[in-house]
Chain A
Amino acid sequence: MRCFVGIDLGSTTTKAVVIDENQNVLGRGITNSRSNYDTAAAIAKQEALVNGRFYLFRQALGNTGALNGALDAFLGQLERSFRFEQYLEQLADLESTCQRNVANARFGDAASSVSSALAEVFKRLSAESAALFAPGAKPKSDFFRDIAGSQYLATGEVVAKESGIRYDFLLNVFDRSIIEVENRVYGDSIRRHLLAALERTFLMMPDTAGRRDRVEAPIKGILDMPMEETYIVGTGYGRARLPFSKEHVRSEILCHGLGAHVMHPGTATVLDIGGQDTKAIQVDPNGIVESFQMNDRCAAGCGRYLGYIADEMNMGLHELGPMAMKSTKTIRINSTCTVFAGAELRDRLSLGDRREDIMAGLHRAIILRAMSILARSGGIRNEFTFTGGVAKNEAAVKALKDLVRENYGALTLNINPDSIYTGALGGATFAWRAVVEEGKTAEARS
């Protein structure tokens, strides 16, 4: 089948969306940008295509009725099993890379004991891995670096102590090796992993094994069907790195404008808060950008602001919003400088203010800055669509709602659960338009 792909290479994460000939979203994929846009783009696209296969599995299995009532559970298990297979392969790769790096490191006499300690660490990681992908388990992150990293750090510390070697040797090896591993794409393993995951799923859900033939046939049918990348459009900060010609590259302003329009056709104003910039975009009824403003010179008030605060507070990025929601008191925090906000935060803590209230103040500070960029772009018009990573943060959304109501009155505020994919969706729609409406064909980078 013909597929149209949009890739958004952001500063923090890289996102991909695949749509079909009727502009249905087949799949979405995300990965960390890992300062290597080539890999990030390849992996995000691969993830989106895998996600697309799952969408097609669902469609096909839904049509046959083979799994009546058990479809969701089956596909959920299939996906977990698939992730597990992927994880095992990467873990094995990480182990052999670590061992190779120990051989090349200057650990002197300690080398062989580090090597044995590594073997022990990986033995324990493998033993623990099944639990990470068990039903009901909530992985802390979608990215191998984070999942394997947190396991490795915890287990490594214990093993280092037990075997009497220096923990920092293990850290050193990990840091070097993880970069190599996360820059491999494993594109050839997808089919194998899906088939292995299928077997695993039949084992885990014995009821379905009885219907094996009726389940297997449509899945294999879809696996055998090529998903042709008919046209790709790239956007985001890394777009110049994309391996295709300029024709395939659009600015993220255009992609966010169009993506927001596709998600919510009534959109007139878009606010996107990403890792390093805040964009206010005005679009016409066809999703065409009329004007835009971005933060200039300074990235205070962007997603990284929250990242910095999370680091300062020694918290996870996703924990900030929920904490701020528990606020009972208004605290004003300056919004002009990320680093100063960090200082202000510590000052507030020392004055005895509650963390919840300070967090709420920080979220409001971000949105205040966004309000000024929105004002610069011509204000907020109905409907108003909020996108980007920060749109997932409930405290930021609450602050935005309050400020919009105060300044512009009652408006429709759209926040799509998939808003992080807005730019990629816009890119995929541009790809679709290029082929279907403009009759273009893909061009290689010259």
Chain B
Amino acid sequence: MNATAVLPQGAGKPQVQKEDAMWLQKEMINRNYHELATARERGHKVAATFVPGNLNELLMCFDFARSLPETNALQNGLRKKSGKFILDAERDGQSEDVCNYVKADLGMMLGGEIGPTGEALPKPDILLLSYTGCFTFMKWFELIRHKYGCESVMLHVPYQGEGKIAPNMRDYVVKQLKETVIPALERISGVAFDIDRLRQYMKESTKAEEDLVAVLQSAKHRPSPIDGYFGAVYYIGPIFTAFRGTPEATEFYRVLRQEIEQRVRDGKGPITPDGEMAEEKYRLVVEGPPNWTSFREFWKMFYDEGAVVVTSTYAKVGGVYDFGFRHDPDHPLESLAEYCLGCYTNLNLPSRIDMICRYIDEYQADGLLINSIKSCNSFSAGQLLVLREVEKRTGKPAAFIETDLVDPRYFSAANVRNRLESYLQMVKQKRAAALAAH
């Protein structure tokens, strides 16, 4: 007997399902890599900068091509390339405890700086550090500066220790922009600063921000038309990176918003890689970044159980817009300062707790899940306290799982699934008990 199964022609991996906007988003991200790869030949200088507090509109005023090292690392994680990079960086002397975004980036450099799409990334002309709440960022750029001998410029952003932005904090940042950052960018790019150009980009930003907020807040509907964590990762891609302030981003968010609003009218749930999610059984708020190396597998653990993440703090990591902040073309430098000061990881713990409690209430969530990242202190420090406090204040159950950003060794699927299932069953049991009590 011939035991070899004959597969029908063309039968391969099932096609992954995405919304139209998700495909568009992927094209945009890939295009930016191509623009980076060809920046030199097109006569553009290259800036590297980080997602939180990024000054994309400002960099565009000087015609810089923009590279975002964390995005490179996460894209390499999604494309299963980060594991080797991390090992290479460790062999090069980086300790096991160093942030894995850093190691993935250093490993990529060691391998000749071939970017996630396979095109070589250019050596940056300037490193713009515009958010100093993450100490690792500073050391990361120090390493890159050392490696490439390129210039760096630092914007010191005070921490919101008191839970608010005081006027002197804003003035301090604006002063640095005027006296340090803008002159440096002018000098390196050879382009003179034009504040009206900045205002023009900001007008685009504002429109896109308005639409992004509408998309993220659509999850207040039942069923939620989006996943506010796994799905939101696609939505935030353009605006948190090199596209904020561009007409393409504005168009992307306009189309995305239409698509999502249509889903709301149709009463549809989120699109997952396996198609539209069936019944919405659990609504969760998630704190902490996702795992990228097993992103689909991680997501699947949620939608297989009927769990949708209605909102997440990670979807605010490149800008907390849902409480009203918008870039303001009438006060461009001041609003850049406020943007940097207001980034999620720059909030103190009481503010983060308030935000999560508010989310649980406004999005009618069943509880909070924290994905704690081994190598990310910006997010992880204080998370147990956050968990305890949110449980106490909302009376909703919370749970804690631990994975990593881009180190595949730190994703233990069996353990993560076990905790997630236990958590969801706990939510279900508590809900049943609450119903019985009424």
The residues in A between 276 and 291 inclusive whose CB is less than 8 angstroms from any CB of B are 284, 286, 288-291
B397 in contact with A291 (CB, 8 Å): yes
Residues of A within 8 A of B374 (CB): 297
B422 in contact with A254 (CB, 8 Å): yes
State A115–B390 Cα separation when bound (angstroms). Answer: 69
A251 in contact with B418 (CB, 8 Å): yes
User: Does residue A191 face the partner (Cβ distance < 8 Å to B)?
Assistant: no
Given contacts A237-B418, A289-B429, 14 further A-B contacts (CB under 8 A): A237-B414, A250-B425, A251-B425, A251-B426, A253-B425, A254-B426, A254-B429, A288-B429, A291-B426, A296-B402, A296-B415, A296-B419, A297-B374, A378-B391
Mark contacts of A243-284 with chain B using CB atoms, 8 A cut-off: 1 yes-contact digit, 0 otherwise.
000000011111000000000000000000000000000001
Q: List 10 A-B contacts (CB under 8 A).
A: A251-B425, A254-B425, A254-B426, A254-B429, A284-B433, A289-B429, A290-B397, A290-B430, A296-B402, A296-B415
User: Does residue B310 face the partner (Cβ distance < 8 Å to A)?
Assistant: no
- In-complex Cβ contact of A293 among B397, B400, B425, B433 (8 A): B400
In whole Å, how far is A373's beta carbon from the nearest beta carbon of chain B?
11
In whole Å, how far is B160's beta carbon from the nearest beta carbon of chain A?
27
In whole Å, how far is A10's beta carbon from the nearest beta carbon of chain B?
13
In whole Å, how far is B138's beta carbon from the nearest beta carbon of chain A?
27
- In-complex Cβ contact of B401 among A252, A296, A376 (8 A): A296
State A253–B422 Cα separation when bound (angstroms). Answer: 6
Centre residue among A290, A291, A294 by max chain B CB count within 10 A: A291
A251 with B422, Cβ < 8 A, contacts A291-B397, A296-B401, A297-B410 known: yes
A252 with B391, Cβ < 8 A, contacts A286-B433, A288-B433 known: no
State A288–B425 Cα separation when bound (angstroms). Answer: 11
Residues of B within 8 A of A152 (CB): none
User: Does residue A57 face the partner (Cβ distance < 8 Å to B)?
Assistant: no
In whole Å, how far is A9's beta carbon from the nearest beta carbon of chain B?
12
The residues in B between 386 and 438 inclusive whose CB is less than 8 angstroms from any CB of A are 388, 391, 397-402, 410, 412, 414-415, 418-419, 421-422, 425-426, 429-430, 433
In whole Å, how far is B236's beta carbon from the nearest beta carbon of chain A?
27
- In-complex Cβ contact of B398 among A289, A291, A294 (8 A): A291
User: Does residue A292 face the partner (Cβ distance < 8 Å to B)?
Assistant: yes
User: Does residue B143 face the partner (Cβ distance < 8 Å to A)?
Assistant: no
- In-complex Cβ contact of A289 among B388, B400, B412, B426 (8 A): B426
Question: Interface residues of A, CB < 8 Å — how many?
Answer: 19
B391 in contact with A291 (CB, 8 Å): yes
State A288–B433 Cα separation when bound (angstroms). Answer: 8
Residues of A within 8 A of B397 (CB): 290-291
Residues of A within 8 A of B422 (CB): 251-254, 292
Mark contacts of A387-426 with chain B using CB atoms, 8 A cut-off: 1 yes-contact digit, 0 otherwise.
0000000000000000000000000000000000000000
Residues of B within 8 A of A284 (CB): 433
Residues of B within 8 A of A292 (CB): 399, 422, 426
Question: Interface residues of B, CB < 8 Å — how many?
Answer: 23
State A76–B235 Cα separation when bound (angstroms). Answer: 69
In whole Å, how far is A267's beta carbon from the nearest beta carbon of chain B?
16
In whole Å, how far is A112's beta carbon from the nearest beta carbon of chain B?
36
Question: Nearest A residue to B367 by beta-carbon distance?
Answer: A291
Residues of B within 8 A of A290 (CB): 397, 430
Residues of B within 8 A of A286 (CB): 433
In whole Å, how far is A311's beta carbon from the nearest beta carbon of chain B?
24
The residues in B between 151 and 209 inclusive whose CB is less than 8 angstroms from any CB of A are none
Residues of A within 8 A of B410 (CB): 297
A251 with B402, Cβ < 8 A, contacts A288-B433, A289-B426, A378-B388 known: no
Question: Nearest B residue to A276 by beta-carbon distance?
Answer: B415
State A292–B367 Cα separation when bound (angstroms). Answer: 13
A-B CB proximity, top 4 nearest: A251-B422, A253-B422, A296-B402, A289-B426
The residues in B between 351 and 407 inclusive whose CB is less than 8 angstroms from any CB of A are 374, 384, 388, 391, 397-402
Mark contacts of A286-315 with chain B using CB atoms, 8 A cut-off: 1 yes-contact digit, 0 otherwise.
101111111011000000000000000000
State A38–B367 Cα separation when bound (angstroms). Answer: 35
In whole Å, how far is A33's beta carbon from the nearest beta carbon of chain B?
15
In whole Å, how far is A443's beta carbon from the nearest beta carbon of chain B?
17
Residues of B within 8 A of A237 (CB): 414, 418
State A286–B401 Cα separation when bound (angstroms). Answer: 26
B429 in contact with A294 (CB, 8 Å): no
- In-complex Cβ contact of B384 among A253, A297, A376 (8 A): A376
The residues in A between 324 and 361 inclusive whose CB is less than 8 angstroms from any CB of B are none
A288 in contact with B421 (CB, 8 Å): no
Question: Nearest A residue to B432 by beta-carbon distance?
Answer: A288
Residues of B within 8 A of A296 (CB): 400-402, 415, 419
In whole Å, how far is A425's beta carbon from the nearest beta carbon of chain B?
17
Residues of B within 8 A of A293 (CB): 400
Question: Nearest B residue to A293 by beta-carbon distance?
Answer: B400
A288 in contact with B430 (CB, 8 Å): yes
Question: Nearest A residue to B430 by beta-carbon distance?
Answer: A288
State A146–B39 Cα separation when bound (angstroms). Answer: 70
Question: Nearest A residue to B374 by beta-carbon distance?
Answer: A297
B426 in contact with A253 (CB, 8 Å): yes
State A288–B429 Cα separation when bound (angstroms). Answer: 7
Question: Nearest B residue to A284 by beta-carbon distance?
Answer: B433
A297 with B402, Cβ < 8 A, contacts A289-B426, A289-B429, A290-B397 known: yes
Centre residue among A250, A251, A294 by max chain B CB count within 10 A: A251
Residues of B within 8 A of A376 (CB): 384, 400
